[in-house]
């Protein structure tokens, strides 16, 4: 297996050459498996709020939680490009702190790049972070941190005017120097138009097959998140069911005495046991 570390240049150069793959990871074991499977990019997404921490909104996680998870994931990764997802408070509430916060993903969590969702001051903030020498992945379309301003969790760019706005956002982010762009919940034809207009790769989630690559939330595609499943998710395995069955079997075996068996047990030499019994110490 190729053990070369994926770089931002590799991601840029993949455009029109091969499809790119990205999945989210939030901890050491999953990041390690995803990396060993040869996925190009691992996103330590703020979706950790929903799928790991049981919160309602991604706006409920901050730098503390994101750095904690990013450190664990990047410790496991040898090859993939690791991208830290900047939490809402770190650049939307606090634009003046955004460069410092982006730098913490690189210095403390050893990420290779950061991702920012589109918002009103997106261009100013992105420009400053790139100026500081940090690689940025953009994110347009449905941006969960500001979904309330977009009318909820809905497909974006469904009329000509809205699609035109998305195209402009994409071109502006490319011009600033973003190395790649996530397109979330965008009609496939609009994603295709954006993909063709850009020189940087687009990574789609609910944006059809015309993007340069695809991303999914790992807990969705592994069947580990049961609260809801968006239409664009394909479940490749149902781990919830498998884990539930394994835990039920464990319970049964402990109750019945079938576990632990001989092979899970440590022994002591018979003579040592006899010696112990011979001693008058109990």
Task: Establish if 24 lies at the interface with ligand KIV (CB under 6 A).
Answer: yes
DSSP-derived 3-state class of residue 94: coil
Q: Which residues contact 206 (CB under 8 A, 6 or more apart)?
A: 142, 155, 184, 185, 186, 230, 231, 232
- Tell me how far, at minimum, the Cβ of 215 lies from ligand KIV, in Å: 5
| Kind of pairing between the strands at 113-115 and 136-141 | parallel
Which residues are tagged catalytic? Answer: 184
The only residue of 83, 155, 173, 182 in contact with ligand KIV, by rule CB under 6 A: 182
CA angle 81, 85, 87 (to 5 degrees): 165
The DSSP element (H or E) to which 138 belongs, if any, is: strand 136-141
By CB under 6 A, what part of segment 36-55 binds ligand KIV?
A: 43, 45-47
Closest CA to 171 of 181, 162, 161: 181
Q: Which residues contact 31 (CB under 8 A, 6 or more apart)?
A: 25, 42, 72, 73, 74, 75, 76, 77, 82
CB-nearer residue toward ligand KIV: 85 or 174: 85
- Tell me how far, at minimum, the Cβ of 276 lies from ligand KIV, in Å: 57
The only residue of 35, 40, 65, 85 in contact with ligand KIV, by rule CB under 6 A: 85
CB-nearer residue toward ligand KIV: 69 or 104: 69
| Kind of pairing between the strands at 213-216 and 20-24 | parallel
Binding mask 199-238 for ligand KIV (x = CB under 6 A): ------x---------x-x---------------------
CB-nearer residue toward ligand KIV: 173 or 215: 215
- Tell me how far, at minimum, the Cβ of 182 lies from ligand KIV, in Å: 5
Which residues sit at the interface with ligand KIV, rule CB under 6 A?
A: 24, 43, 45-47, 85, 182, 205, 215, 217
């Amino acid at each position: 297996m190729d053990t070369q570390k994926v770089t931002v240049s590799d991601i840029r150069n993949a455009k029109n050459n091969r499809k790119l793959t990205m999945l989210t990871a939030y901890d050491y074991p999953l990041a390690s498996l995803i990396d060993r499977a040869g996925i190009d990019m691992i996103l330590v997404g703020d979706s950790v709020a929903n799928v790991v921490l049981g919160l309602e909104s991604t706006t409920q996680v901050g730098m503390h939680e994101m750095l904690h998870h990013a450190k664990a994931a990047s410790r496991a990764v040898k090859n993939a490009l690791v991208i830290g997802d900047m939490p809402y408070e770190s650049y939307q509430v606090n634009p003046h702190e955004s460069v410092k916060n982006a730098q913490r993903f690189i210095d403390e969590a050893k990420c290779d790049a950061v991702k920012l969702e589109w918002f009103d001051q997106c261009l100013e903030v992105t420009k400053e972070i790139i100026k500081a020498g940090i690689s940025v992945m953009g994110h347009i379309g449905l941006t969960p941190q500001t979904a309330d301003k977009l009318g909820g969790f809905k497909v974006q760019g469904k009329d000509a005017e809205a699609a035109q706005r998305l195209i402009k956002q994409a071109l502006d982010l490319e011009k600033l120097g973003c190395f790649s762009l996530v397109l979330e919940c965008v009609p496939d034809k609009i994603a295709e138009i954006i993909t063709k207009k850009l020189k940087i790769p687009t990574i789609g989630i609910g944006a059809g097959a015309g993007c340069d690559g695809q991303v999914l939330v790992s807990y969705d595609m592994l069947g580990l998140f049961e609260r809801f499943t968006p239409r664009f998710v394909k479940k490749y395995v149902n781990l919830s069911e498998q884990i539930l069955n394994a835990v039920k079997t464990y319970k049964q075996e402990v109750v019945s005495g079938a576990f632990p068996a001989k092979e899970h047990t440590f022994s002591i030499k018979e003579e040592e046991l006899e010696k112990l019994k011979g001693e008058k110490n109990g």
